[in-house]
């Protein structure tokens, strides 16, 4: 089926034609996403699609794939089936499309094409993929009257009975799709030309895009770009990036002194060139002087699912299921550690979690976090649904201090950070004896996925126990890392 272009293929073409070619002909060279993350996205998408299908109780589901699915679709159409799930076309122009829902409008003798998205809103790429679907179905002889997207209602709160009409919203995007059909048709023709090439591309179109726009195969097609490159310069893009790349300037150390950069960008470049860190001791001391003992170093781990896991929660709401807390009572004192980890998918963790924090966090002292907006946001959400703890949560938000500010405000700049302010970039540079590399869980996304599997029965009891142990080690290091970085900064 590699000669066919599917919707997912086409979206890859839109990202980068060379990436699309490699995906079709040499897929083993395409860096894979985290398998666990892919699996989670598919499972959540399938779950939402199951609820969407309940909106069409008389529909017929096609479970086969490819040529067989096309044949079954054609039989159902000839038999005047009104609604089909996974209706499939394979066009003479080598387009492959499967519609999540295809519904016959008998009054106009047309079809309405639906796509189901497990997101809270309609994104630009959703309009593109629905447009691709319409082009494919029309090329196969179907008259498409309307195109619609079924997606999550962001204001939905879970109840004991899940009602699909409450969980999901339906938006008509017919006009938006019609507007871009000529463009998409041209892009499809261009994609066919790329697919017809027998020679592997030598480079890719991402070279003039900022780092966030790079395709997954960027480094394969651009081996001359070092790991720490001009693409890592903070907020670099547009004219400046074009000047650098057109001038074959790839290393941060090679950026000319006369190119106009922001203060933050210039500082980063200067430090990369000199290999001498910039440490503004006065500014750091002034920031740290705001802190009041005892110091509470706090970190949450959260779970976020399309279908809310707990009653009263919304789609993709970040639910804290774990915390780590290190407490330093006074200057020079050894940090005491406290922690909580929910092991239950049936009961909202908030009350047990907040009971623990209420016992351990006193009425005086600073709460130290890394990326204040995240922890403060979770506290505000918990305050709205746990009114007995609202005063406590609002109070600790008032006392919250973001340790990342030292680095994001460039009071401390080191070439080893490679332009990043993340704790995982800062810790190994300042405190090299501590590292996440030896941990089984090394980032928050995997922590969330593993915890979900452990508490919902997705793994054996033995694996679940190992997961809980790994989660405790990971979250503990997040707060211990802040303690060690704080100690380092206090001594500069």
Q: Is the pLDDT of residue 104 over 70?
A: yes
- pLDDT (tens digit per residue) in 458-491: 899 999 999 999 999 999 999 999 999 999 999 9
Please count the helices (runs of H) and the strands (runs of E) in the chain: 18, 13
pLDDT grade, residue 345 (50/70/90)? confident
4 pLDDT higher than 60: yes
Q: Which tokens sit at 189?
A: 């023709």
Average pLDDT over residues 423-429: 96
Residues 6+ apart with CB under 8 A from 199: none
Mean pLDDT to the nearest integer, 360-382? 97
The band of 35, judged by pLDDT with boundaries at 50, 70 and 90, is confident
Mean per-residue pLDDT for 49-68?
Answer: 97
Average pLDDT over residues 49-78: 97
pLDDT of residue 466: 97
Residues 6+ apart with CB under 8 A from 93: 139, 192
pLDDT band at 206 (very low <50, low <70, confident <90, very high): very high
Q: Are 299 and 323 within 8 A, CB to CB?
A: yes
Is 70 exceeded by the pLDDT of residue 352? yes
Q: What is the average pLDDT across 6-27?
A: 95
Structure tokens at 22: 């490699």
Tell me the mean pLDDT in the region 94-121.
96
* Chain segment 283-338, per-residue pLDDT in tens: 999 999 999 999 999 999 999 999 999 999 999 999 999 999 999 999 999 999 99
**Is residue 195 within 8 Å of 142, Cβ to Cβ?**
no
Averaged pLDDT score across all residues of the chain: 95
pLDDT of residue 36: 86
Q: How much is the pLDDT for 418? A: 94
Distance CA 120, CA 115 (A): 14
Residue 390 has pLDDT above 80, yes or no: yes
- Give Cα 122 distance to the centre of its chain: 16
The DSSP secondary-structure symbol of 7 reads H
For range 389-395, the mean pLDDT:
98
Does residue 32 register a pLDDT over 90? no
Average pLDDT of the residues in 81-89: 98
Residue 417 has pLDDT above 60, yes or no: yes
Residues present in the chain in total = 492
- Ordered by where they begin, the domains of the chain are 7-196 (3.90.320), 224-260 (no CATH), 284-491 (3.30.420.10)
Q: What is the pLDDT of residues 137-190, one digit of tens each?
A: 999 999 999 999 999 999 999 999 999 999 999 999 999 999 999 999 999 999
Cα gap 63→90, rounded to integer Å: 16
Strand partners, 84: 60, 102
Q: What is the pLDDT of residue 208?
A: 86
> Residue 238: what pLDDT?
86
pLDDT at 2: 67
Q: How confident is residue 201, by pLDDT bands cut at 50, 70 and 90? A: very high
pTM score: 0.92
């Amino acid at each position: 089926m590699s000669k066919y272009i599917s919707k997912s293929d086409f979206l890859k073409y839109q990202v980068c034609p060379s990436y699309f070619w490699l995906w079709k002909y040499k897929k083993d060279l395409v860096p894979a996403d985290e398998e666990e993350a892919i699996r989670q996205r598919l499972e959540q998408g399938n779950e939402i699609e199951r609820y969407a299908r309940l909106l069409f109780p008389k529909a017929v589901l096609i479970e086969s794939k490819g040529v067989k699915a096309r044949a079954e679709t054609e039989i159902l159409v000839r038999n005047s089936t009104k609604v089909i799930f996974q209706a499939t076309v394979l066009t003479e122009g080598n387009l492959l499309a499967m519609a999540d829902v295809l519904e016959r409008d008998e009054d106009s003798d047309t079809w309405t094409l639906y796509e189901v998205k497990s997101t809270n809103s309609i994104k630009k790429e959703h309009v593109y993929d629905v447009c691709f679907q319409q082009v494919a179905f029309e090329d196969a002889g179907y008259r498409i009257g309307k195109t619609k997207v079924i997606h999550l209602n962001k204001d939905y709160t879970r109840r004991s009975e899940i009602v699909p009409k409450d969980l999901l919203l339906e938006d008509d995007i017919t006009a938006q799709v019609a507007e871009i059909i000529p463009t998409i048709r041209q892009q499809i023709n261009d994609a066919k030309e790329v697919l017809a090439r027998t020679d592997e591309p030598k480079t890719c179109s991402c070279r003039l895009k900022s780092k966030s726009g790079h395709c997954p195969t960027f480094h394969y097609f651009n081996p001359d770009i070092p790991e720490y490159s001009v693409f890592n310069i903070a907020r670099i893009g547009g004219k400046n990036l074009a000047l650098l790349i057109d001038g074959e300037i790839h290393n941060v150390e090679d950026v000319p002194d006369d190119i106009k950069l922001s203060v933050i960008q210039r500082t980063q470049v200067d430090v990369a060139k000199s290999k001498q860190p910039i440490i503004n001791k006065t500014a750091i001391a002034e920031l740290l002087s705001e802190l009041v003992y005892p110091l509470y170093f706090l970190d949450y781990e959260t779970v976020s699912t399309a279908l809310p896991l707990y009653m009263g929660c919304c789609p993709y709401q970040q639910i804290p299921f774990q915390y780590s807390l290190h407490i330093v009572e006074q200057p020079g004192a050894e940090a005491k550690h406290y922690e909580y980890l929910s092991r239950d998918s049936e009961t909202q963790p908030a009350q047990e979690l907040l009971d623990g924090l209420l016992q351990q966090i006193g009425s005086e002292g600073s709460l130290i976090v890394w990326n204040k907006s995240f922890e403060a946001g979770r506290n505000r959400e918990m305050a709205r649904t746990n009114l007995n703890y609202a005063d406590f949560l609002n109070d600790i938000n008032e006392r919250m201090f973001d340790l990342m500010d030292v680095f994001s405000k460039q009071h401390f700049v080191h070439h080893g950070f490679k332009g990043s302010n993340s704790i995982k970039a800062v810790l190994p540079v300042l405190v090299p004896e501590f590292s996440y590399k030896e941990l089984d869980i090394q980032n928050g996304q995997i922590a969330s996925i593993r915890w979900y599997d452990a508490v919902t029965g997705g793994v054996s009891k033995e694996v679940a126990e190992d997961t809980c142990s790994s989660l405790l080690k990971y979250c503990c290091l997040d707060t211990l890392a802040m303690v060690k970085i704080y100690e380092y900064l206090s001594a500069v």
